[in-house]
Structure 1
Amino acid sequence: MVLRSFLLALLLGMFVGYFSWGHSLSLTILSLSLFLAYMIIDKRYLLFGFVWAYYLMASRGFLFGVESYYENLIYAFLAWIGVATVSSLLWVLIWTRSFRRRLSLFPLLLIVMILPPFGFISWVNPLPSIAVVLPGFGFLGLVLELIFIYLVAILWKKYDYARYYFMTLMSIIFISTLYYFPPKVKENLVIKSIQSDIEYFPMTFDKSREYRTLKTFFYKVQNTQSLNILLPENALGNYSSVQSMLWQELDEDRTVFAGATIYNARRSNNINALLEIDHNSTKLLYKQRVPVLGEMWKPFRNKGTEATIFEQAIVKINGEKAGVFICYEQLLVYPYLQTFFYKPNILIGISNLYWAKGTNIKSIQKETMELWAILFGVPLSFSVNG
């Protein structure tokens, strides 16, 4: 009986994790059942099975993406299982048999999941999925989301028939998502995002290859009619004053926002950045807050990519406030909450996912950014390579 119940919890978690992410944006609302499960499941091992299976299936692209990047299936498998296990253990550790105490502990669970250090691996978090029901509600939408979860959990535990009303309510929610209209974009914030499929590396010593990549993106920009253009993460490679000479040929009325790697000689590390470029100047607009932990950001070593963590919540673009998210930090929660505290007028996301082709990593990044943009009613410009 115990084994059967555990297997059922695994299957349900796999179902929710698989269909919540990497498909239709409206399906992300299914992930809210993760919050509900914490409150209504009465056995710790069943909660662990459900949550663990959810994280494994929702982040399934991580396994194949890491395997492609490192060409090491064993390392990728251990990393995939390890992150899912650590994330799941948080849920079962902040859990109690008492239903009332679970209700009071749920905010603590959210805080621990969102804030560093555990916030650094808080992928596929259900929190922004309420956007498909409450577009434009912002922080109020998050409050209403929690109230909704509490009400459903209390009714579920108190009345057996409440779960049937819940199914009906979820059906109504799916229908309501068909009537979402995106916010209008201010003319000075219309940014054309360039999508590409080029195999290039963030740190390379092959200068001829790096220059060919740079020229490819330059021609893409020149063939675009927009005045403001967004290029993917690390599109400019290891940016230097020599490379900046190419952009002097840019039309005077055009501005390019592009990802680049900048070496910091003073600290013997590099910066994963977004640059603002016109025909006669280059400006360091944004430094990535949270690079990939372990691979890029090495907190216990003096090398790797610099992390700014709580800096640059917003930047100024054409006089307007913008929130910028580079690759990995698009998957987390706390950078969005930090950014929206300052009321940005637009979100900008860039990624380089040449190594994750054929996985759901790209779609999860885009879905996460779209959900936050919809929830707070701001436009989104998203550029990805891969």
Structure 2
Amino acid sequence: MRRKLVRPAVLVGLSAATGWISWSGVALLLPVSLLFPVLWSVATSRKIAALISVGYFLAASRGLPQGVATFYQFDLWPGLLLWLCASLSFVAVHTALWTANARARPFCYLAAIVLMAVPPFGITGWAHPVTAAGVLFPAWGWWGIAAMTAGLLGLVTHTWPAVAMALVSVWLWSAATWTDPILPDRWRGVDLDLGPSLGRETGLHRHHKLIQLVRETGFTKTAVLALPESALGSWTPTVERLWIDGLAGTPITAIVGATVVTEEGYDNVLVAVSAQGGNVLYQQRMPVPGSMWQPWQSWLGQTGSARADVFANPVVELDGTRIAPLICYEQLIVWPVLQSMLHDPDVILAVGNGWWTAGTSIVDIQRASVIAWARLFARPLVISFNT
């Protein structure tokens, strides 16, 4: 009896270690996630496959309970509940699609890859192994996605040792020649360390300080300067006029996070503002489920939820430059960046407000993910976070 428990325990332990290491916030460690499909495929029953999936996902998303508790300023239990609920789609998909039929297994795993990449399951499709494509196949673009998918399918067949050796060789070569994504000419992302006050403290003094920062940072060399998610608070005609006047006499365009209040709730947006005027540039496609996006509120006739545009505005244009914006949560899931890449953007812009993740690896994971995507598609990358 004890021997029968050893193998499942080892597989679950290895799966948890895989999730922990690969999603530690270091881009070059993302390929460790490719061990998960191997462990999933060698499970001897659906129950063990479920436990392997639980171990991987919970370890990969380990920062969520603490982050949620910090954000809402209450104890750890609600965060733990959200952590477990978020794992349901990943575990359910991989449990339902597990099969003992070796011939059918690659097709089942292909279905799992696709389902966890697109809505509705993809809404919580964190820790997707396909993200490692940018590390293994930099600059390959869509061919890199195809190669990564083929490699993942090979890892769930009986030839997985040979496939794994080939992927490890590619990984080592990539690590030896790795370079970070370039910064676009005359663009700059500004990281802030203003904690929870950013977006909540929206008085005149805060706006003046941000405007002064923009002017000092980008006056001589920068044409476009990005500030983090929610930096402006609510985007109103008064705020717009204040920033237009504040940037008068400069060539700078500031792309800044803000919220736009609607009758039903609010939009989480990026605005572009310069001395010539301001406008909403981008509306977030996928706000954080549960804390921001609460679709049940509309079902109950209530208001206050962030709106999810899901497939809207994958690419926006600013002065002839096509931008693929990713706000915070969108950097953790697959379909927003792939949808944007279908429209051939010139630059990827990733912003976030991660003060609530202090003591966790969440922001580092977001950075690693967008770096991997930028390297895969050989796109310049601009990053701006508040912590």
The normalised TM-score by structure 2 is 0.90
For residue 213 of structure 1, report the CA deviation from its aligned partner.
Answer: 3.0
Q: Is the 8 Å Cα contact of residues 27 and 369 (structure 2) preserved in structure 1?
A: no
Find the aligned partners of 1:344 and 1:66 in 2 and give their Cα distance: 33
Q: What letter matches 2:353 in structure 1?
A: N
- 1:192 corresponds to which of 176, 188, 195: 188
Aligned to 2:280: 284
Aligned to 1:345: 346
Post-superposition Cα deviations, 1:55-97, rounded to whole Å, max 9, x if no partner, equal 1111111111011112221111111122224321210111111
Find the aligned partners of 1:93 and 1:152 in 2 and give their Cα distance: 19
Count of residues in correspondence between the two structures: 374
* SS of equivalent to 1:283: strand
Find the aligned partners of 1:363 and 1:176 in 2 and give their Cα distance: 20
* SS of equivalent to 1:115: coil
Find the aligned partners of 2:49 and 2:259 in 1 and give their Cα distance: 42
- 2:151 corresponds to which of 148, 171, 186: 148
Find the aligned partners of 2:50 and 2:4 in 1 and give their Cα distance: 13
Find the aligned partners of 1:66 and 1:249 in 2 and give their Cα distance: 36
* SS of equivalent to 1:60: coil
Distance 1:105 1:373, change over 3 A: same
For residue 49 of structure 1, report the CA deviation from its aligned partner.
Answer: 2.2
For residue 305 of structure 1, report the CA deviation from its aligned partner.
Answer: 1.1
For residue 150 of structure 1, report the CA deviation from its aligned partner.
Answer: 3.2
The runs of 4+ residues in structure 1 deviating greater than 4 Å are 182-186, 201-204
For residue 3 of structure 1, report the CA deviation from its aligned partner.
Answer: 2.3
For residue 263 of structure 1, report the CA deviation from its aligned partner.
Answer: 1.1
For residue 184 of structure 1, report the CA deviation from its aligned partner.
Answer: 5.3
For residue 169 of structure 1, report the CA deviation from its aligned partner.
Answer: 5.1
Distance 1:216 1:194, change over 3 A: same
Find the aligned partners of 1:104 and 1:289 in 2 and give their Cα distance: 30
Aligned to 1:234: 230
For residue 201 of structure 1, report the CA deviation from its aligned partner.
Answer: 5.5
Find the aligned partners of 1:199 and 1:212 in 2 and give their Cα distance: 17
Find the aligned partners of 2:386 and 2:230 in 1 and give their Cα distance: 9
Distance 1:235 1:203, change over 3 A: closer
Aligned to 1:269: 265
Q: Is the 8 Å Cα contact of residues 214 and 237 (structure 1) preserved in structure 2?
A: no
Task: Please give the residue correspondences for 1:142-221 in structure 2 after superposition, counting only pairs within 5 Å.
Answer: 142-156=145-159, 162=161, 166-167=164-165, 170=168, 173-182=171-180, 187=185, 190-200=186-196, 204=200, 208=203, 211-221=204-214
Aligned to 1:379: 380
Sequence identity (%): 26
* SS of equivalent to 2:296: coil
Q: What letter matches 1:222 in structure 2?
A: R
Q: What letter matches 1:110 in structure 2?
A: I
Is there any run of 5+ residues in structure 1 with no aligned partner, and where? none
RMSD (Å) for aligned C-alpha atoms = 2.1
- 1:81 corresponds to which of 81, 84, 87: 84
Distance 1:169 1:235, change over 3 A: closer
